[in-house]
Amino acid sequence: MEKLSNPQVTIATIKKYDFAFQKKFGQNFLIDEHVLNKIIAAAGVTKDDMVLEIGPGFGTMTQYLAETAREVVAVEIDKALIPVLNETLADYDNVTIINDDILKVDIEKLVHERNDGRPVKVVANLPYYITTPIIMGLLENHVPVDNITVMVQKEVAERMQAGPGTKDYGALSLAVQYYAEPYIAANVPPNCFIPRPNVGSAVIRLNLFEKPPVEVKDEKFMFQIIRASFNQRRKTLQNSVVNGGVPVTKEQIIKALNDMGLSESIRGEALSLEQFAKLSNLLSYI
Ligand code: SAM
């Protein structure tokens, strides 16, 4: 079958199945061959790889992945898309479609069954309404993943990649950068999708670390401090952390900041991941 990246083929498929796009599932399908080639190249998929695709839609990117990977497992929530996928992917014998919510799939079990527990690559044009839970779920649950290459809202990609002192820097930047090295591979305008999203998009690749770049005694505690610091980002770190319900006193924070040679009036947005790690290690001794 001719590829769905040809907009005429996608339009004919919409008509054939009388397909109604579901906003609640974040359905914006790619119709740009150039962008698809860029995603596949950024993901670095080879014939050795098993790829997990989240939300195949009509199977537009799945067609490209099937040609470059050894095996593709694609998880799609919308059951109306299953008959479409059965047709658009009929030429490929290395694709398995699972009709489920990705947030409910036991990915670790899947990787053990399908790839002998060896790390897989995750490639997706993500539904934007659940970008963060999907990515953080993959990172925090220590699923065997080599890299994650995904299309997300441009602002979200920028937040993931941002460093200290910039307006985009926040809890998401630190959470992602604790587990992975982010790299924005391309910016993608709305006219590459049908229907067009109201926002710009970007392809981001996350290369997962074998171990985090900083040593932290209590990860949960560090992220509690980070979240509290950015919940009130215009306030000083000591105020936002205490107001945010982290079980430490102002005096203890001031002492830790002094020990680190930092100003008592510093804001969370000025601290690097390394400094948050050090601060939380100092405070978790209390
Ligand atoms: N990959 C296709 C493409 O690029 O043309 C479609 C991408 S579209 C942005 C997102 C896809 O994710 C839709 O097909 C949508 O139905 C699916 N989806 C939404 N929520 C999902 C979930 N919780 N689990 C699995 N798939 C989901």
CA of 129 to the centre of ligand 1 (A): 10
**On the CB side of 123, how many CA atoms lie within 13 Å of its CA?**
29
Closest by CA to 96, choosing from 80, 79, 81, 114, is: 114
Distance of CA 266 to the CA centre of its chain: 30
Stretches where the chain sits below pLDDT 70 are 285-286
Residue for token pair 């979200």: 156
> Which atom of ligand 1 is nearest to 102's Cα?
24
Q: Hey, what amino acid is at 265?
A: S
Residues with CB under 6 A from ligand 1: 25-30, 54-57, 60-61, 75-78, 101-103, 125, 127, 130
Question: CA separation (Å) from 274 to 88, 172, 199, 278, 281?
Answer: 47, 15, 33, 6, 11
Using the mean position of ligand 1's atoms as its centre, give its distance from the Cα of residue 81 in Å.
10
Check if the beta carbon of residue 283 is closer than 8 Å to that of residue 254.
no
Tokens of 13: 């498929």
Ligand 1 atom nearest residue 60's Cα: 5
In this predicted model, what pLDDT tens digit does every residue of 186-222 receive, in sequence order? 999 999 999 999 999 999 999 999 999 999 999 999 9
pLDDT at 279: 97
How far away, in angstroms, is 73 Cα from ligand 1 center?
13
As a whole number of angstroms, the distance between CA 73 and CA 105 comes to: 12
Substitution candidate for ligand 1 out of 29, 85, 98 with most atoms within 8 A of CB: 29
124 Cα: distance to centroid of ligand 1 (angstroms): 8
Q: What's the one-letter identity of residue 272?
A: S
Q: What size, in residues, is the chain?
A: 286
3-state SS string for 105-140: CCHHHHHHHHHCCCCEEEEEECCHHHHHHHHHHHHH
Cβ neighbours for 184, distance < 8 A, ≥ 6 positions apart: 157, 158, 161, 202, 203, 204
pTM: 0.95
Which of ligand 1's atoms lies nearest the C-alpha of 36? 4
Residue 99: the pLDDT is 98
Residue 244 CB contacts under 8 Å (≥ 6 apart), including other chains: 224, 227, 228, 229, 231, 232
| Alpha carbon of 127 to ligand 1 centroid (Å) | 5
List Cβ neighbours of 36 (8 Å cut-off, separation of 6 or more): 5, 30, 60, 61, 64
Ligand 1 atom nearest the C-alpha of 124 is: 1
| Burial label, 152 (beta-carbon count in 10 A; 0-12, 13-18, 19+) | buried
Q: What is the best residue among 33, 82, 125, 130 to mutate for testing ligand 1's pocket, by most ligand atoms within 8 Å of CB?
A: 125
Please give the structure tokens belonging to residue 142.
Answer: 């220590």
Q: At what angle do helices 171-179 and 273-283 cross, to 10 degrees?
A: 90
What does the alpha-carbon distance between residue 208 and residue 182 come to, in Å, rounded to a whole number? Answer: 9
What's the gap in Å between 55 CA and the centre of ligand 1? 3
Instruction: Look at residue 276 in the predicted model and tell me its pLDDT.
Output: 98
Ligand 1 centroid from CA 82, angstroms: 12
17 contacts 25 by C-beta, under 8 angstroms: no
Cα separation, 10 vs 263, in Å, equals 57
Residues 152, 183: Cα–Cα separation, whole Å: 13
Question: Residue 84 is which amino acid?
Answer: V
